[in-house]
């Protein structure tokens, strides 16, 4: 199987890393060659660290990096069996990408979107053959998080859905099947829960440290909600919250004012060095 990945940001690069580690020939596409080369360098770096940790043989690392091609031209994805779109979380951007991809890939190629909050059905509606589209929602960071949600849109063909599910397993993930409902499974539960946690900070005066300790040691969470939000990024979470609220109009889905203020101030978490916590 030959896999294409469109968009080599943090998520796309992680998905491409999974593919080359799984032995799949992979083509990564970015708008600018410099960004594509930077992503390939990041992947090579992470695989080198696995060699240093004794989790990967040097030859296997070199072979994996050799399986990754990069391009700025969507036409170079023409021979891919599956193309996974991991572009900016904007409906118009993703729909336009799907339209362009349909013009260059084979008739039997599958088009998957990594969207976390948008409707796969709405993205797929840009296609002449929407039955070839499916959601493959990986979690950040993709190489480490074991889950991938396989999302059936309204017109996804059965064989497309099952092929995507099998690909999730091939990439070393635990795939789960779900329907194209707002937030799918995990975010439908997790986003309002994290929003509740942030509201507790302001309503009770508890500190981020104490809230995180409470949820880790009292509820068994592997990571506290504030630390998790800093990892995800306030920008990503607020965007997903707003998308869910727009669809469902449930008050718990709306981003809390504190997170909106953090976003406006550029306190996005680990990526900016400050969120609920400070990072060196």
CATH code, domain carrying 233: 1.10.1040.10
Which residues are the active-site residues?
Answer: 116, 137, 149, 187
CATH number, residue 137 = 3.40.50.720
Quick one: 153 and 246 in the same domain? no
Residues 86 and 173 in one domain: yes
pLDDT at 128: 96
pLDDT greater than 90 at residue 202:
no
Q: Are residues 91 and 6 in the same domain?
A: yes
Kindly report, residue by residue over 36-91, the tens digit of the pLDDT.
Answer: 999 999 999 999 999 999 999 999 999 999 999 999 999 999 999 999 999 988 99
What pLDDT digit, counting tens, does each position of 107-160 carry? 999 999 999 989 999 999 999 999 999 999 999 889 999 999 999 999 999 999
C-beta atoms surrounding 275 within 10 Å: 23
Same domain, 208 and 134: no
Q: What is the pTM of this model?
A: 0.91
Residues 167 and 41 in one domain: yes
Same domain membership, residue 257 and residue 130 = no
Structural domain including 235 reads 187-270
Question: What are the φ/ψ torsions at residue 191 (nearest 5 degrees)?
Answer: -60, -50
């Amino acid at each position: 199987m030959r896999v294409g990945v469109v968009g080599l940001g943090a998520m796309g690069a992680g998905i491409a890393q999974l593919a080359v580690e799984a032995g799949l020939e992979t083509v990564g596409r970015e708008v600018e060659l410099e960004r594509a080369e930077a992503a390939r360098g990041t992947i090579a770096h992470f695989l080198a660290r696995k060699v240093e940790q004794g989790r990967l043989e040097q030859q296997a690392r070199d072979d994996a990096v050799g399986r990754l091609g990069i391009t700025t031209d969507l036409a170079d994805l023409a021979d891919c069996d599956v193309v996974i779109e991991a572009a900016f979380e904007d409906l118009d951007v993703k729909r336009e990408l799907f339209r362009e991809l349909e013009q260059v890939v084979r008739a039997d190629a599958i088009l998957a979107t990594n969207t976390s909050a948008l409707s796969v059905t709405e993205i797929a509606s840009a296609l002449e053959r929407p039955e070839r589209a499916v959601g493959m929602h990986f979690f950040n960071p993709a190489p480490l998080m074991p889950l991938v949600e396989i999302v059936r849109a309204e017109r996804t063909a059965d064989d497309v859905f099952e092929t995507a599910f099998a690909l999730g397993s091939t990439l070393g993930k635990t795939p789960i099947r779900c329907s194209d409902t707002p937030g799918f499974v995990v975010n439908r539960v997790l986003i309002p829960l994290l929003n509740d946690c942030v509201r507790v900070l302001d309503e009770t005066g508890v500190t981020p440290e104490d809230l995180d300790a409470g949820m880790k040691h009292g509820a068994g969470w592997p990571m506290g909600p504030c630390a998790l939000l800093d990892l995800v990024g306030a920008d990503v979470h607020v965007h997903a919250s707003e998308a869910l609220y727009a669809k469902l109009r449930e008050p718990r889905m709306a981003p809390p004012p504190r997170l909106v203020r953090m976003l406006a101030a550029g306190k996005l978490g680990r990526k900016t060095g400050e969120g609920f916590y400070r990072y060196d």
